[in-house]
């Protein structure tokens, strides 16, 4: 098994004919992801790479291909509308790669998604990959390997680094989820921790957080209360100065609750093995398994 993405996924790519959409569409197809449709308004009736039908709307794509997941490669000004469209068409999983969507638009969008039972991963995220099965987004498939370690991360590049360490040391992954680093995101640490806890194919969990906000502290409390599997974690931004944003829009220390030290202390109190640097992930997991 896996979480969010599996053999039943039927993927629609919004923005498939654009520069980023077309590049990553080919990467996902080569990986074996079941891509069944693309959407670009005004280009309906065409075929992408002579194989994937392109539609003007997500509703048409769902009706014709039974797509049940969507990945969005649409500019920031149009991305929120693309999410609304996918949810309104009945898509159950939406992965939004786009960075820079205005916070106000996301604030209005979240209740709409909850009403429809739609899961949004992102925005501003690298997506989801179930190694050997399917990838939805931009996580490089060549660094992943099938296995039993689940990973959830706010950082795309740290996802790649940690996954590479795991794979090189024979620790494959059940699913890797990049949730994104924006202040408002659709799927959080707790959503992924709950899914990994319920997944019989996941034996251990890696959580990668960063400074800013209290999501990591909330995740630590959830681990204490409801997670029985071994968990190790890393907090990025340990040397960041107070009041300065580091990388992601959500990575800013505005009080003591957002510091790396406070988050690492919360992890330790929850029994989460804390990495001082990403390369320690293998050693910590070996000690817990």
Which residues are tagged catalytic?
A: 248
Strands (E), the chain: 11-14, 35-39, 47-48, 52-55, 69-72, 93-96, 119-121, 127-130, 134-137, 146-153, 173-178, 204-210, 231-236, 273-275
- Taking the C-alpha atoms of residue 14 and residue 55, their distance in angstroms, rounded to an integer, is 9
Do 175 and 4 touch, CB atoms closer than 8 A? yes
Pairing of strands 52-55, 47-48: antiparallel
Half-sphere CA count of 143, side-chain side, radius 13 A: 14
Q: Which two tokens stand for residue 223?
A: 């681990």
Q: Which two tokens stand for residue 220?
A: 């630590």
Do 223 and 270 touch, CB atoms closer than 8 A? yes
Angle at 144 between CA 140 and CA 149, to 5 degrees: 135
Give rounded-to-5 percent helix, strand, coil for the chain. Answer: 40, 20, 40
């Amino acid at each position: 098994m896996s979480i969010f993405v599996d053999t039943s996924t039927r993927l629609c790519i919004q923005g498939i004919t654009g520069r980023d959409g077309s590049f990553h569409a080919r990467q996902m197809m080569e990986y074996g992801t079941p891509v069944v449709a693309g959407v670009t308004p005004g280009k309906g009736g065409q075929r992408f790479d002579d194989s994937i039908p392109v539609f003007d709307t997500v509703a048409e794509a769902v009706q014709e291909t039974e797509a049940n997941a969507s990945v969005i490669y649409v500019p920031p000004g149009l991305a929120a509308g693309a999410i609304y469209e996918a949810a309104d068409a009945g898509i159950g999983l939406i992965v939004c790669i786009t960075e820079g969507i205005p916070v106000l638009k996301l604030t209005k969008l979240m209740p709409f998604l909850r009403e429809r039972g739609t899961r949004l991963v992102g925005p501003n995220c690298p997506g989801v990959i179930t190694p050997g099965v399917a990838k939805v987004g931009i996580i490089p498939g060549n660094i992943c390997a099938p296995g039993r370690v689940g990973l959830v991360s706010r950082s795309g590049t740290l996802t790649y680094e940690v996954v590479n360490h795991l794979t090189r040391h024979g620790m494959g992954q059940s699913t890797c989820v990049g949730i994104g680093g924006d202040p408002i995101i659709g799927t959080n640490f707790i959503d992924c921790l709950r899914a990994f806890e319920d997944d019989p194919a996941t034996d251990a969990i890696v959580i990668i957080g960063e400074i800013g906000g209290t999501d990591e502290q909330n995740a630590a409390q959830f681990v204490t209360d409801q997670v029985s599997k071994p968990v190790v974690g890393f907090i990025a931004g340990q040397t960041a100065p107070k009041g300065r944003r580091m990388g992601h829009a959500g990575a800013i220390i505005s009080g003591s609750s957002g510091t790396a030290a406070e988050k690492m202390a919360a992890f330790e109190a929850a029994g989460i093995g804390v990495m001082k640097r990403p390369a320690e992930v293998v050693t910590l997991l070996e000690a817990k398994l």
